[in-house]
Structure 1
Amino acid sequence: MTPVLDFFARTDPVFGALIATTFTWLVTAAGAGLVLIVPNMSRQWLDAMLGFTGGVMVAASFWSLLNPAIEMAERMGVPGWLPAAVGFAMGALFIFALDKVLPHLHINFDVSRTEGVKTPWHRTTLLVLAITLHNIPEGLAVGVLFGGVAAGIPEATIGGAVALAIGIGLQNFPEGIAVSMPLRRAGLSKWKSFGLGQASAMVEPVAGVIGAAAVLFMQPILPYALAFAAGAMIYVVVEEVIPETQQAANTDIATLGFIGGFIVMMVLDVALG
């Protein structure tokens, strides 16, 4: 066992989830920090990195969440498809509801295409809220998996939980860039663009702790919780991440980024999980 895995194996699961999701937040901050030293970034790079983000999220949804949920359910004597289908649907509907209520604006969209309830909020606030919406299921997924490890569920391994945290962190780096750069182009100062960019991921530690604590108190819900996180992540990818990469003539680059992200997350999960 590597020192990192050994550390998390000896750590309280809720605290471990907090550390892991704090890591993913800090990686977002590192990505957002590029706005302080890079004057601008081409749309091609941004679309490629957003594609990478989508690939990681889709791979994580199956390898880290749905597959373990199915295996857990079958071991508990429940049809494997049932918790996966119910949890997946509930996760997607949860984000769907937030999407309809929370005012937000996708990164590459015109302000006239603001979603959620009507509000006079400034474009920058709406952009940050859109990425915050992305980060809720990501933090929740990491927390739920750490909770499963603490509950002693065989299918939830510390390696898999750490792999998921690393994968989410990797895709958070371009996500931080994708928030801070448009804010800078919109006229905000470098430091304000950085501050808002990193703030979009502050919800991840909160969601991670909630996810881990919920599983510890209600162990039978773990397969549903894993599938819930997967459904939420897939909804975000299909409804927001992929459309954001299709607004310019960079669809091939974005698709290759997606494939790269999927491969990276799959390798991480199989190698460590």
Structure 2
Amino acid sequence: MNGLTTVLLLALIPAVANFLGGLLSEVVPSSGRILSAALHLATGIVIAVVGLELMPRALEADPAWVPMLAFIAGAGLFLGVDYFAGYLQARSSEGGSAAPYAIYGGTALDLFSDGVLIGTGSTINPTLGLLLALGQAPADVPEGFATTAALRRARVSRRGRLLSAAGFALPILFGAALGYLALRNAPDLLTLSVLAFTGGALLSVVIEEMIPEAHEAAETRWDSFYLVTGFTVFAAVTTYLG
């Protein structure tokens, strides 16, 4: 099995998790408490991915300030994309269109970045690619759940919702192939900087999207417990499978 095939198989792990989240939203009544708990768990996992795997490896670069700047640039890029998505959502609302389609586009972009992360990590170490794929999977379940639930509220047919959920495999597979093929022979400094760049974008997603959405769905005294549990889940994955 060649390297690219391995990377694509790894990328299928979070893609399947996202699809299962979409299927779950078809059979489980939409509950604010359940959605909030799932998003806090996902938040803890993403923070652990960035803090325990991405940045420690990225800071091994010489000079280390390059991935540091890349980390900030990743956050800046996400804020720009988020602003543009908000603008499109506002325009769609004015025109009477369904805003959930903007959510769908944001999810596709997030999955693309997940794929780039897996492909890039695999060029450094296949085990890192596996850890990133396993770490992202639990975060993609609630994301798929929320996106498909939004499409259901917009009265998209069940067939359309299932096809849309299955279509999420395309951006993550494309991102994984791009990250692997573009960076497998690149200098370490560039590869580690791309890791940091993606980490900055992921952290911004957590702060600007996942946490506010979780609190909008429901606020409970267990929020921080779910977040810490999610962090610990990925810590266990990286400790015992790494």
**Which bracket does the TM-score occupy, shorter chain normalised?**
0.7 to 0.9
What is the one-letter code of the residue matched to 2:104?
Answer: V
Structure 2 equivalent of residue 61 of structure 1? 50
Q: How many angstroms does 1:103 deviate by?
A: 5.4
Listed one character per residue, the Cα deviations across residues 30-68 of structure 1 (whole Å, up to 9, x for unaligned) are 111123433x13110011111111111111012221111
Could you list the structure 1 runs, at least 4 aligned residues long, displaced by more than 6 angstroms after superposition.
none
Please, which of 227, 230, 236 is the counterpart of residue 261 of structure 1?
230
Please, which of 14, 17, 34 is the counterpart of residue 27 of structure 1?
17
Q: How does 1:158-173 map to 2 (within 5 A)?
A: 158-173=126-141
What is the one-letter code of the residue matched to 2:202?
Answer: M
Alpha-carbon distance in 2 for matches of 1:207, 1:186: 28
Q: Which moved more, 1:192-201 or 1:53-62?
A: 192-201
Task: Summarize the Cα distance change of 1:46–1:212 in structure 2 as closer, same or farther, 3 Å threshold.
Answer: same
Q: How many angstroms does 1:70 deviate by?
A: 1.3
Listed one character per residue, the Cα deviations across residues 183-210 of structure 1 (whole Å, up to 9, x for unaligned) are 2233333332333334345311111111
What TM-score do the two structures reach when normalised by structure 1? 0.79
Q: How many angstroms does 1:29 deviate by?
A: 0.8
- 2:224 equivalent to 1:234: no
SS in 2 for 1:218: coil
Listed one character per residue, the Cα deviations across residues 139-162 of structure 1 (whole Å, up to 9, x for unaligned) are 22111101222xxxxxxxx32321
Aligned residues: 238
Q: Which runs of 5+ in 2 are unaligned?
A: none
Structure 2 equivalent of residue 52 of structure 1? 41
The Cα RMSD (Å) is: 2.2
Task: Summarize the Cα distance change of 1:104–1:64 in structure 2 as closer, same or farther, 3 Å threshold.
Answer: farther
Task: Summarize the Cα distance change of 1:251–1:13 in structure 2 as closer, same or farther, 3 Å threshold.
Answer: farther
Please, which of 30, 41, 54 is the counterpart of residue 30 of structure 2?
41
Structure 1 equivalent of residue 4 of structure 2? 14
Alpha-carbon distance in 1 for matches of 2:170, 2:152: 20
Structure 2 equivalent of residue 141 of structure 1? 117
SS in 1 for 2:206: helix
Alpha-carbon distance in 2 for matches of 1:104, 1:224: 30
Q: Is the CA contact (8 Å cut-off) linking 1:50 and 1:254 kept in structure 2?
A: no
Task: Summarize the Cα distance change of 1:126–1:88 in structure 2 as closer, same or farther, 3 Å threshold.
Answer: same
Q: Is the CA contact (8 Å cut-off) linking 1:148 and 1:212 kept in structure 2?
A: no
- 2:200 equivalent to 1:211: no
What is the one-letter code of the residue matched to 1:196?
Answer: S
SS in 2 for 1:247: helix
Alpha-carbon distance in 1 for matches of 2:128, 2:204: 22
Alpha-carbon distance in 2 for matches of 1:132, 1:251: 29
